[in-house]
Structures are given as structure tokens and as C-alpha cells.
Amino acid sequence: MPIYEPGRRVAIVAGVRTPFAKSGTALRTLSAIELGKIAVTELVHRTDVDPASIDLLTFGTVLPSVLAPNIAREIALMPLLPKGVQAWSVSRACASANQAITDAADQIALGHASVAIAGGAESLSNVPILHSRGFSDALVAASKARSLGQRVQAFAKLRPKDFIPITPAIAEPTTGETMGQSAEKMAKLNGITREEQDALALASHRNAAQGTADGRLTAEIVPVMVPPRFETAMTADNGIRSDTTAEALAGLKPVFDRRYGTVTAGNASPLTDGAAAVLLMREDVAKAHGLQPRAYIRGYAYAALDPGEQLLQAPVLAAPLALKRAGLTLKDIDLVEMHEAFAAQVLSNLRGFESPHWAERAGFSAPVGAVDRSRLNVMGGSVSIGHPFGATGARITTTLVNELARRGGQFGLMTVCAAGGLGFAMVVERA
């Protein structure tokens, strides 16, 4: 946890993102790198930060390109930025952009940097598809062959199953459980009903539709000209359903446990393409550049639990620690942004916040408390807006600091659950 000297706090100056598009739709031909460049370019233009002052750029992504695995460096090498901006990429599943942000904040707090861009991007339309082990071995053997005969021999051993490509699964490598199955398990363990999940999904869509209609959400978005014709601009997220109803949600069939399940396409986050980035600066440097910070990072924490247990419950362990490090309690918090991987996970996390059992597990004598639902995800969440894994943490950060400023609140809490049983929480203070 960074220890900030007066005037040298880590400021969140601004955040920008691309529209979030359901994968396979409008942004499907753009790579995560291209999406990241669009968000970062707009961030630099909007803030007018001097590119020469940027010390570092760090970006999160979950499924990096095999050809360009350091997405941060590829983004930093765009013409707008000087070649001397150091850049590295991070992966902490759905909290990857949060990792990028806290990495950058730590560098600023240590005095190693004073201006940083941090964010994340994901194109789930462009996931790397792998050859099978057998086919890979044959390709390697063929590349080493010295004659046509040896080359033919390398492929002769192949069986039909070797030609089946391997696509990344959204499943835990250690348990084999998919995210959806984990959400089902959490719903059952925490007694979360289908009705509660659908109600949360409905609220997510309503809030996001409202934020889009009144411009609060679209203000965070840079319009993207849609390839390949570039004739239309995408200006808003395309997964938000302003017309969805409780009845429509109730009519959807469970996806991950077809017989007894409660998780549907309506109360799960969709697979999404998009990117988001925030500008972080040391407080005094921001002011010297004439930039007004939106908020300061007050404290953060990561936590982890056994993925075989309740995969997406670790925010319950991270939140009390982040609050403690911020010197605050939930009563001080004006707004809460919670990543919605699944409505079942949000509701499980909220129950965990109220549970003495989870408080004890986190090393605290009292629970975090009950979140006032009117302060939760007030502009929607990942269920409606979408969830490009690597980008979500930067979207949540941007929305939280903007809405906190808009409402004149003082403190905001964000939480993100992530694969591997990981959890993140951060407290920000309005500038």
C-alpha cells in the first residue's frame, strides 16, 4: 500500500474507453492492441497531457496475442507517444486493468514515475486458437526435416483428432470448472434465487440505459468508426437492452446447468470486445500541468481463495482490507462499483459483505456491512455494459470517479472478482 506524502498522492485525472461491443459484432475485426490504441489516443487528446511527460504505460489483457504478447508496448509505440515511454503488460484475469492501475500507482508512489497511463483491452472476437499437441509436434518435425520424405513422414503420423483446434476455455485450469458453473455453485451455496439474479440484471440494464440516454455513460466513450467500411460510428455499448423486462429475463433458459440452474444469458456478463484507459499522475505534477484530478487513490487490496471453493467470492476478502487501508468503513462510502461477472456473483459478494463468517475469514471481527443498493452500480455494470476481461477494471474506475464527482460524494469503493479465486478492492476519494 503506497504511503502518500501531502501533495504527492496518486491522482486519477481522467478515464476513457471504447464502446463495449458483444464479441462477434461491430468491433470484431479490431485487435485488442488496436482497441487499446483508440482508448489511449483519446485519453491523451481529451486531457491534453503532454505525451513527452508520460513515463510509463501499463495495460492488462487476459488472452494476449501470441504474435505481440506485450500489448502495453505495442500501444506505447504508436506515433502519438515518444518511444521512450516504458511499457509492460499484466494479467490478473478480470482484474487485469486494476493490476495495471495499481502497478502504475505504486510506481508513482515510489517516486519512479509521475505520469502514467494504465488500462486494459480485450478482443474476445480474436482469441488465439491453437493446434493440438500432435499437430504442433508434426509442424516442428516438418520444419526440421531435411528432405521431402522426412517432411511427409512428419505429417504421416497425424490422426483425425490432431486436426481439432484448441480454443481457450473460460474454465479454471486447476478445477476444470467454467465461470458459469462457478456462478451456479455460488448461487446454490449462498441461496441466491433466479428472481434475485434477474432483478439485479434488470437494474443493471435500466441503469446503463439511463446513463446512455442522459450522456453520463457515453461521455466516457470515444466513438469508433466501424471497420471495414468506416461509414458508421459506434458511439455506445451494444449489449445494453433498454427494452428488457422482468418477464423476458424470466423466460430465458439456464445455460450452465440446464436442469436445475439459475444462470442465463440474461443474468451473466456477455463475451465482449473493448478497451479502457486512465491517466494517473502525482498530485503536484497534475496541478503543475494545469490538470484537475478527479479523484485520489486512497487504498487498495488484493485477495485470493481456493478456486475450488467459491471462485468469485474473493472481493469479500479484499474489500475490508482496502477499507482498512483507506482508514474508512462502508458507512463512509458514497458509491460502490462492483464488477458484475454474473448477477449470482454480485449477490453472493453482497451477502459475504454482511456475513460474520466471511469477516472472520478476512481477519476482521465485524462484517463490512450491507451495501445500499441505490448506491451500487448506478450506471449499470458488466451484465449490461459488457465485460472485455482486460478492460473492465479501467471502465469501473472511470465511472466511479466521474460519478463521485458528479454527485459530490467523497469516497467510492470498487470491487472486482477474477478467475483463479482472485479478488480486488480499491477506495478512491474525490479530488
Ligand X SMILES: CC(C)(COP(=O)(O)OP(=O)(O)OC[C@H]1O[C@@H](n2cnc3c(N)ncnc32)[C@H](O)[C@@H]1OP(=O)(O)O)[C@@H](O)C(=O)NCCC(=O)NCCS
Please identify, using beta-carbon distances, which residue of 211 and 299 lies nearer to ligand X. Answer: 211
Q: How far is the CB of 308 from ligand X (least distance, A)?
A: 17
Grid cell locating 290 = 494545469
Residues of this chain, 210-269, that bind ligand X according to CB under 6 A? 241, 244, 248-249, 252, 255, 265-266, 268-269
The residues, ordered by sequence, that sit 6+ positions from 138 with a Cβ below 8 Å of its Cβ are 154, 155, 157, 158, 162
Quote the least distance from Cβ 393 to ligand X, whole Å. Answer: 12
Find the shortest distance in angstroms from Cβ 126 to ligand X: 16
- Decide: residue 275, CB within 10 A, 0-12 exposed, 13-18 middle, 19+ buried: buried
SS3 content of the chain, % helix, strand, coil (to 5): 40, 20, 40
Q: What is the CA radius of gyration of the chain?
A: 22
Residues known to be catalytic: 94, 387, 417
Contact letters (x/-) for ligand X, 372-401, by CB under 6 A? ---------------x--------------
How many residues at the interface with ligand X, by CB under 6 A? Answer: 19
Read off the amino acid at residue 97: A
Residues 271, 387: Cα–Cα separation, whole Å: 6
Distance CA 71, CA 88 (A): 8
Q: What are 277's strand-pairing partners?
A: 16, 119
Nearer to ligand X, 18 or 244 (CB): 244
Instruction: Confirm if 27 and 125 have CB atoms less than 8 A apart.
Output: yes
**For residues 107 and 182, which CB has a smaller minimum distance to ligand X in the complex?**
182
- In terms of CB distance, is 85 or 414 closer to ligand X? 414
Nearer to ligand X, 187 or 268 (CB): 268
Query: Which x/- pattern, by CB under 6 A, does the window 157-186 give for ligand X?
Result: -------------x--------xx------
Output the CA angle 428-300-343, nearest 5 degrees: 85
Does 341 participate in binding ligand X (rule CB under 6 A)? Answer: yes
Site pattern 189..208 for ligand X (x: CB under 6 A): ----------------x---
Minimum distance, C-beta of residue 74 to ligand X, in the bound complex (Å)? 24
Q: Which of 388/412 has CB closer to ligand X?
A: 388
CA–CA separation, 371 vs 375, rounded Å?
8
d(CA 104, CA 84): 16
- Spatial neighbors of 53 by CB under 8 A, at least 6 apart, are 114, 115, 285, 289
Per-residue contact flags (x/-) with ligand X for residues 259 to 288, judged by CB under 6 A: ------xx-xxxx-----------------
Least spacing, CB of residue 76 vs ligand X, in Å: 27
Q: Which residue ranges make up the site for ligand X (CB under 6 A)? A: 94, 170, 179-180, 205, 241, 244, 248-249, 252, 255, 265-266, 268-271, 341, 387
